[in-house]
């Protein structure tokens, strides 16, 4: 590795704040909690940054760092599906060129720290420590660099739970963020890159883990601001670009259980006994506590009893609802054997259903199509009719208050374009102003109070300050697809003509070029239970 690939120093620092948006930032600015961020917004230019559909971390960050929609890069969710099997996505599922690899081809070195869905890394000029969906202690680029980072910085972790601090504690959040900044600065000293990309995930996860906790939210942002101040002071970037993948806000409308609706419409068939989609969070939580692999146990008498009870409608979902109302769901859930949970959970029978929601984070319904799925129930000749019927049915859904449940229910082709459109859900459902929520649950009424009172919104933020920035330019209409072309333009690197965005008006419009087809690595399994448990804890699975 060349430790000095760019003699001009750090020309551009991109700061990724997962879930940041004006409604979150304004109170922090007013309280004085984030002076560095506030100064960047005031001295440069800023505006809303529209996310994609779906506006969720695992799909949105690849869209941001490739400049291409999921139909081109291939990632729609935290999960990928092969028939009825699934795996957590990783960088091998991203089938387009990350911007740091494009810069590397033009002689620009990079340091990339904590960007989601970047493990395992391909070769490029620079260094990369991956973010969410990577296992703890991953192989980084270049190999062995993580050990150097830990030695230089005292520690490093991707997930706060991996440290000695209590789970979901402010101390754990702050220490994780501190190590993020230290690692980035160490790598910049070692590499002397032209481009830096530093992402902070706790600005999102604090809302999932401690919803509405102002003290925790402010503590997270204070530490992010502190690390940003030290990073700017030490690396002295010419330009700083702050971006988010989506926004965050309260969900005041109801939660809609799509699979329960589809069951009543005759599309979903159900089963008990653990062969369908499990109750994610409790299942993995209990497996990990017991040190066991899911599905490896023999059926016990108690499990059989729970399974019989489920046939009479006494399911863990319904029990959990009652426990939650008295504040006992989590402590009791931690003590129920995992196989009992799976035995008593009513689940979608994917093999024998016609259509279903696999994962709430992809915001869509999948059709069990003959010839495409291993046990497809819908003949290809009926595909369009069935899809149109489901779209019509879902479009007509109203909340208990009489409001439309969805802003849009459309075929996938409305939102995605590219060679991997066939990997998308067949029908895309967009909750009304993201003030309602969709889930894949069964065993409850179609509507209920949202399990997650804070969740993603489609509008994030972008701010830019420094050399080469026209701070008088308005940023209305900016999207996450515009970030990668803007980065290219700031380095005078030709923009990939296949990118879906264009350079933001804060920079001179870049040249376009046709690049050779990207040759991604073969898809490799993630198959890491700790990653799955982390995503489950955050409510993504």
Reply yes or no on whether the pLDDT at 469 is more than 80.
Answer: yes
Half-sphere exposure of 217 (CA within 13 A, CB side): 22
The answer, yes or no, to whether residue 297 has pLDDT greater than 60, is no
Report pLDDT digits (tens) over 14-52: 999 999 999 999 999 999 999 999 999 999 999 999 999
pLDDT, position 443: 79
To the nearest whole number, what is the mean pLDDT of the chain?
87
Structure tokens at 485: 């072309």
For residues 48 and 246, the answer to whether their CB atoms sit within 8 Å is no
Rounded CA separation 12/34 (Å): 21
Distance (Å, whole) CA 10 – CA 238: 7
* pLDDT for 315 beyond 60: no
Residue 364, strand partner residues: 428
**Residue-wise pLDDT tens digits, 355-386:** 999 999 999 999 999 999 999 999 999 999 99
Tell me how far apart the alpha carbons of residues 243 and 238 are, in angstroms, rounded to a whole number: 17
Interhelix angle 145-153/170-191, rounded to 10 degrees, is 120
Q: Read off the pLDDT band of 101 (50, 70, 90).
A: very high
Q: Which residue has the higher pLDDT, 281 or 526?
A: 526
Note the pLDDT of residue 526: 80
Question: Domain 252-269+349-451 falls in which CATH fold?
Answer: Gyrase A; domain 2 (3.30.1360)
- Within the chain, all domains assigned CATH 3.40.720.10 are found at 12-134+193-250+454-537
What's the mean pLDDT in 511-528? 88
Instruction: Tell me the longest C-alpha to C-alpha distance in the chain.
Output: 71
Q: Where in the chain is the domain with CATH 3.30.1360?
A: 252-269+349-451
pLDDT at position 272 is: 83
Rounded to two decimals, what is the model's pTM? Answer: 0.87
Per-residue burial over 76-113, b = 16 or more CB atoms within 10 Å of its CB, e = otherwise: bbbbbbeebebbbbbbbbbbbbbbbbbbbeeebbbbbb
Q: What burial class does residue 380 get, using C-beta atoms within 10 Å of its C-beta: 0-12 exposed, 13-18 middle, 19+ buried?
A: exposed
Q: Using one digit for the tens of pLDDT, what is the confidence trace for 153-185?
A: 999 999 999 999 999 999 999 999 999 999 999
What is 12-134+193-250+454-537's CATH number? Answer: 3.40.720.10
Least reliable range by pLDDT among 208-222, 261-275, 329-343: 329-343
- For 57-100, write each residue's pLDDT tens digit: 999 999 999 999 999 999 999 999 999 999 999 999 999 999 99
At residue 539, the pLDDT reads: 67
Helix locations, 291-382, DSSP H:
301-311, 316-325, 329-333, 338-344
């Amino acid at each position: 590795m060349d430790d000095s690939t760019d003699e001009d120093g750090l020309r551009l620092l991109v700061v990724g704040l997962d879930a940041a948006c004006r409604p979150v930032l304004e109170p922090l600015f007013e309280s004085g909690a984030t002076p560095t961020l506030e100064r960047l917004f005031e001295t440069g230019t800023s505006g809303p940054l529209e996310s994609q559909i779906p506006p969720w971390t695992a799909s949105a960050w690849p869209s941001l760092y490739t400049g291409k929609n999921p139909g081109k890069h291939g990632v729609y969710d935290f999960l990928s599906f092969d028939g009825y099997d699934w795996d957590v996505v990783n960088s091998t599922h991203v089938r387009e060129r990350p911007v740091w690899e494009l810069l590397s081809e033009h002689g620009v070195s990079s340091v990339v720290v904590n960007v989601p869905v970047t493990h395992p890394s391909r070769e490029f000029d620079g260094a990369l420590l991956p973010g969410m969906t990577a296992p703890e202690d991953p192989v980084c680029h270049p190999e062995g660099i993580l050990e150097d980072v830990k030695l230089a910085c005292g520690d490093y972790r991707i997930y706060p739970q991996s440290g000695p601090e209590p789970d979901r504690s402010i101390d754990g959040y702050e220490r994780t963020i501190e190590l993020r900044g230290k690692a980035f600065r160490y790598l910049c000293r070692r590499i002397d890159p032209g481009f830096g990309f530093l992402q902070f995930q706790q600005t999102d996860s604090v809302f999932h883990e401690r919803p509405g906790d102002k003290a925790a939210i402010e503590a997270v942002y204070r530490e992010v601001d502190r690390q940003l101040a030290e990073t700017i002071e030490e690396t002295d970037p010419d330009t700083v670009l702050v971006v988010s993948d989506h926004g965050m806000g309260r969900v005041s409308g109801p939660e809609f259980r799509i699979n329960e609706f589809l069951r009543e419409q005759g599309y979903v068939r159900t089963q008990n006994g653990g062969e369908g989609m499990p109750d994610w969070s409790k299942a993995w939580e209990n497996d990990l506590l017991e040190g066991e692999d899911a599905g490896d146990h023999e059926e016990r008498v108690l499990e059989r009893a729970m399974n019989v009870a489920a046939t009479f409608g006494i399911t863990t979902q319904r029990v959990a609802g009652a426990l939650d109302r008295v504040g006992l769901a989590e402590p009791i859930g931690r003590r129920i054997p995992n196989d009992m949970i799976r035995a008593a959970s009513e689940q979608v029978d994917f093999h024998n259903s016609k259509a279903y929601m696999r994962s709430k984070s992809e915001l869509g319904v999948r059709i069990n199509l003959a010839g495409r799925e291993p046990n497809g129930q819908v003949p290809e000749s009926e595909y369009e009719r069935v899809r149109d019927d489901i779209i019509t049915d879902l479009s007509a859904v109203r909340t208990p208050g009489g409001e439309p449940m969805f802003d849009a229910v459309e075929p996938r082709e409305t939102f995605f374009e590219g060679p991997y459109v066939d990997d998308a859900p067949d029908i895309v459902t967009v909750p009304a102003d993201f003030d309602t929520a969709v889930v894949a649950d069964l065993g409850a009424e179609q509507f209920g109070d949202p399990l997650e009172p804070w969740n993603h919104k489609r509008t994030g933020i972008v701010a830019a300050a420094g050399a080469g920035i026209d701070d008088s330019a308005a940023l209305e209409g900016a999207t996450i697809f515009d970030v990668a072309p803007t980065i290219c333009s700031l380095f005078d690197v030709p923009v990939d003509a296949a990118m879906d965005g264009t350079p933001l008006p804060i920079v001179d419009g870049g040249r376009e070029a046709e690049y050779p087809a990207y040759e991604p690595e073969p898809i490799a399994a993630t198959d890491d239970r700790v990653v799955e448990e982390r995503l489950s804890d955050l409510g993504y699975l």
